[in-house]
Amino acid sequence: MTTEIQLRDVRFHAFHGVSPQEQLTGNLFTIDICLTAPLHKAVASDNPDDTINYAEVYRITAEEMAIPSLLLEHAAGRIMSALKRRFPQIEALEISLAKLNPPIPNADMHSAAIKLSEHY
């Protein structure tokens, strides 16, 4: 049995971007994280020690989002690496990272996003 743990529509103000203005003022970002792990012990035990603490997943994500990157791909890749280091039992991980209202001239859009997925 595998279990998915999902954090959806997590919001951050961060300083990712290529333009000097983005690096100075930042922007709003949203992240969706889905991790898959064999958490059958938690299903049976009801013991928090047998699962992956989603508050810890959030904390790690927030730490990585606080480090500016030029590219969304790089920021998401750092988050993936940090989560896998902390929780080696992860079997699959998917992260979608979106920049809201990206500064593209004459563009009217909600967001620009990337999605990374890895199976271990």
Half-sphere exposure of 64 (CA within 13 A, CB side): 21
Element (H, E) at 30: strand 27-37
Secondary structure class of 68 (helix, strand, coil): coil
Q: Are 78 and 67 in contact (CB under 8 A)?
A: yes
Catalytic hit among 41, 84, 99, 115:
99
Q: Decide if 115 is catalytic.
A: no
Q: Which residues belong to the active site?
A: 99
